[in-house]
Structure 1
Amino acid sequence: MAPSIWQLLIVLAIVILLFGTKKLRNIGSDLGGAIKNFRNSIKDGEQQAAAQEGEKLEEKKEGTVIEGESTREKDKA
Structure 2
Amino acid sequence: MGIGNIGVPQLIILLVVVMLVFGTKKIRSLGGDLGGAMRDFRKGMNETETAVEEAVEEVQSEPAAKG
Q: Shorter-chain TM-score: which interval?
A: 0.7 to 0.9
Gapped runs of 5+ residues in structure 2?
Answer: none
Query: What TM-score do you get using the length of structure 1 for normalisation?
Result: 0.75
Which of 1 and 2 has greater Rg?
A: 1
Higher strand share: 2
Ranges of 4+ aligned residues in structure 1 off by more than 6 Å: none
Counterpart check, 1:8 vs 2:11: yes
RMSD (CA atoms): 1.4
Any unmatched runs of 5+ in structure 1? 66-77
Identity over aligned pairs, percent: 37
2:61 paired residue among 33, 58, 62:
58
Alignment size in residue pairs: 63
TM-score, normalization by structure 2: 0.85
